[in-house]
Amino acid sequence: GAGVSQSPSNKVTEKGKDVELRCDPISGHTALYWYRQSLGQGLEFLIYFQGNSAPDKSGLPSDRFSAERTGGSVSTLTIQRTQQEDSAVYLCASSLVARASEQYFGPGTRLTVT
Amino acid sequence: GQNIDQPTEMTATEGAIVQINCTYQTSGFNGLFWYQQHAGEAPTFLSYNVLDGLEEKGRFSSFLSRSKGYSYLLLKELQMKDSASYLCAVRLQGSTLTFGKGTMLLVSP
Q: Report in angstroms the alpha-carbon separations of B82 from A16, B8, B38.
A: 40, 16, 9
Adjacent-strand bridge partners of A32:
A49, A94
* Closest CB to A105 among B43, B94, B101: B43
To the nearest whole Å, the CA of B95 is away from the closest chain A CA by: 6
To the nearest whole Å, the CA of B41 is away from the closest chain A CA by: 6
Range name among A73-87, A90-104, B9-23, B33-47 with the lowest pLDDT average: A90-104
To the nearest whole Å, the CA of B7 is away from the closest chain A CA by: 12
* Closest CB to B48 among A40, A101, A105: A101
DSSP helix/strand/coil, B2: coil
Count of CB atoms situated within 10 Å of the CB of B15: 11
Mean of all residue pLDDT scores within chain B: 94
Instruction: Judge: B43–A43 Cβ closer than 8 Å, yes or no.
Output: yes
- Parallel, antiparallel or unpaired: strands A75-79 and A43-50: unpaired
Cα–Cα distance for residue pair B47/B36, rounded to 1 Å = 10
Q: How confident is the model at residue B95 (pLDDT cuts 50, 70, 90)?
A: confident
pLDDT digits (tens, 9 = 90+) for B60-90: 999 999 999 999 999 999 999 999 999 999 9
* Residue partners of B28: CB distance under 8 A and separation at least 6: B92, B93
Q: Is B31 on the interface with A (CB under 8 A)?
A: yes
